[in-house]
Structure 1
Amino acid sequence: MGMPTDIPIIETMLGFPKPDFSTYDFIRQQTKDTQSSEEFEFPVEYMFKGVPKELYGTDDDPLQVVLGEMDRFNIERAMISCVDDTCQRALTAHPERFIPSFEVNPNDVMGTLREMVALHEKWGLKAATAFPAGCFPQVPIDDAKFYPIYAKCIELDIPIFVCSGVPGPRFPFSPQHVERIDRVMYDFPELTFVTRHGCEPWEDLAVKLMLKWPGLHYSTSAFAPKHYPEAIIRYANTRGADKVIYAGYFPMGLSLERIMTELRDVPFRDKVWPGFLRENALRVLKLD
């Protein structure tokens, strides 16, 4: 049958166009190659074709731009940050369309814990997110600095979405080795942990760990659908229909038009699509 067109989609990774690409300065602080620091506007530009740069640096209201794209592609709700002005405006004006999340900083453990509680009280925080290799300095997935944050996620009854696998920016991948997730799930069996950004090149290991740990899930963020790993498609089509969650990468590196066009050709079985596009996110984010 292919991708159905009548399922209102839950998007688990979405941002807003900025006046420029300064939002990636935290990556440029760590990279050492000339291209990353001086030539690329988008630090992983070498990996992506068709980055929607035309949306950046315009006078258009970023909130209206994003709402228009969501309506165009049947995205009912989208998970966004809840800390910058545009995101807070979106959450205030359209709470039925946007899902609040917070990027944790394990290099400031107590500050992060306090902010998680405050944001939960103010916005009804639905998820934490983390970029271990992008922390400055880097913090491995299974590092002690993350452990109080994982515990707080359990206390607040929210999932954490964590970048896993070799990162796109040109800095070391060790903090995001997928094998590190195993220890975390062992120590926090109540934790709902969702991987981001592919788990490459350890997709088979990610599948093995999802079979092992009930709370471990996989999201498809930062991947054009034609590049979804075969191991993940095979897992979703067999035992993992409730573990694989749709996520895009708009407007950071992919347009929604490209994502939704390529999704039509992903060889998911008919039974997989409702969970992938909507139901798994509803359950993990407790949106029902």
Structure 2
Amino acid sequence: MAMPTDIPIIDTMIGFPKPDFSTYDFIRAQTKDSQSSEEFDFPVEYMFKGVPKELYGTDNDPVQVTLKEMDRFNIELALISCEDESGQRALKDYPERFIASMSVDPNDVMGEVRRIDQLHREWGVKAVGAFPAGCFPQVPIDDAKFYPIYAKCVELDLPIFVCAGVPGPRFPFSPQHVERIDQVMYDFPELTFVTRHGCEPWEDLAVKLMLKWPGLHYSTSAFAPKHYPEAIIRYANTRGAEKIIYAGYFPMGLSLERIMTDMKDVPFRDKVWPGFLRENARRVLKLD
């Protein structure tokens, strides 16, 4: 039951400290409450304790900061964005440690389809990411604007990691209602779709849909392990051992120390850990 210490981990959501918090300006542009725009450095700070803000704005090399933390906690590989300077440098200098991904906003439908092709050629992108409630304007998971993106992912055999459930930032949740995934999986049976950020409060529905659709998976991004939903733990321990994938949230909202300290108490069965920490990500990201 205890987390094994001899499995090299794949983290399917990690990043690098930024010079400042301007990276979240796209969220502030959509929120209307004063806390989000004026008080919080991190727009969902009300939800997280111990955000590693001390790493932001330092003179330390952000790539080395993340590598050091990965080494501390036996993280062998990490999925990162290839769309900023730190990510591109990490991919060039440490190709054995980092895996390229990209994010899309399908408001520019064909522009994003072409960009997926471009970054797939240039950086060997292994995954696409999307934040439906964070698009500007918002784009629901099952909106027609997303369909060419899904089709391109099927064509290139790329998984898409999509935020689902009530978003942390203070804007409407409707675009990320988990029920919207059902129509997408019906229309794209070959698509590998991985949810991000919890699916709450519809985690039971997420489990039901994972039972139904072979290509649907769940990643644990943005959740300290002590808060993993009971429905997800129960599913992993029974029929879903191949569907649940580890993802952290360093340094955006959680430290790796917090994640891995909590992880020791997650009641996964012994058979679940290898897939959760490593093998499911290897399969989904086509690392073999």
What TM-score, normalized to structure 1? 1.00
Letter in 2 for 1:102: M
Counterpart for residue 86 of structure 2: 86
CA distance in 1, matches of 2:109, 2:100: 20
Deviates more, 1:107-116 or 1:237-246: 107-116
Task: Please tell me the residue identity of whatever aligns with 2:155.
Answer: E
2:103 corresponds to: 103
1:205 is aligned to 205
Structure-to-structure mapping, 1:184-203, within 5 angstroms: 184-203=184-203
User: TM-score, normalising length from structure 2?
Assistant: 1.00
Paired letter, 1:68: K
Q: Which residues of structure 2 form unaligned runs of 5+?
A: none
- The DSSP-based 3-state class of the residue aligned with 1:194 is strand
Provide the rounded CA distance (Å) in 2 between the counterparts of 1:86 and 1:199: 29
User: Whole-Å Cα distance in 2 between the matches of residues 216 and 42 of structure 1?
Assistant: 30
Measure, in 1, the Cα distance between the counterparts of 2:185 and 2:166.
20
Structure 1 partner of 2:179:
179
SS at structure 2 position matched to 1:46 = helix
Partner Cα separation in structure 2 for residue 110 and residue 81 of structure 1? 20
Find the aligned partners of 2:172 and 2:237 in 1 and give their Cα distance: 33
Corresponding position of 1:132:
132
Deviation at 1:116, TM superposition (A): 0.6
Give the superposition deviation at 1:51: 0.1
Does residue 50 (structure 1) correspond to residue 50 (structure 2)? The answer is yes
3-state DSSP of counterpart to 1:162 = strand
- 1-side partners of 2:52 and 2:258: how far apart? 10
| C-alpha distance in 1 between matches for 2:254 and 2:83 | 23
Paired with 1:230 and 1:279, the residues of 2 have a C-alpha distance of 22
Is the partner of 1:76 in helix, strand or coil? strand
Equivalent position amino acid for 1:67 in 2:
L
Counterpart for residue 33 of structure 1? 33
Number of aligned positions between the proteins: 288
For residues 63 and 102 of structure 2, the distance between their equivalents in structure 1, rounded to whole angstroms, comes to 18
Give how far 1:279 is off.
0.2
In the alignment, the residues of structure 2 paired with residue 190 and residue 257 of structure 1 have an alpha-carbon distance, to the nearest angstrom, of 37
Per-residue deviation, 1:41: 0.4
Query: Is residue 227 of structure 2 the alignment partner of residue 239 of structure 1?
Result: no
Query: Which amino acid letter does the alignment assign opposite residue 285 of structure 1?
Result: L
Equivalent-residue separation in structure 2 for 1:58 and 1:265 (angstroms): 33
Distance 1:63 1:165 in 2: 31
1:6 partner letter: D
Distance 2:58 2:122 in 1: 31
Name the CA distance, whole Å, in 2 between partners of 1:242 and 1:229. 17
Q: 1:218 aligns to what SS in structure 2?
A: strand
2:159 is aligned to: 159
- Structure 1: 5+ residue stretches without partners: none
* Cα separation, 2, equivalents of 1:182 and 1:286: 24
In structure 1, the partner of 2:2 is 2
Show CA shifts across 1:93-151 (max 9, x none).
Answer: 01110010010110011111111111111111100000000000000000000000000
- 217-226 or 113-122, which deviates more: 113-122
Runs of 4+ in 1 over 2 A off after TM superposition: none
Distance (whole Å) between structure 2 residues aligned to residue 218 and residue 176 of structure 1: 14
1:19 maps to 19
Map of 1:70 onto structure 2: 70
CA distance in 2: counterparts of 1:155 and 1:94, whole angstroms = 28
What's 1:229 paired with?
229
Tell me, what secondary structure is at the counterpart of 2:45? coil
What is the RMSD computed on CA atoms of the aligned residues?
0.4
- Equivalent residue, structure 1, for 2:257: 257
Q: CA deviation at 1:2?
A: 0.4
Distance 2:80 2:9 in 1: 15
The residue type equivalent to 2:207 in the other structure is: V
SS of the counterpart of 2:241?
coil
Amino acid at match of 1:17: P
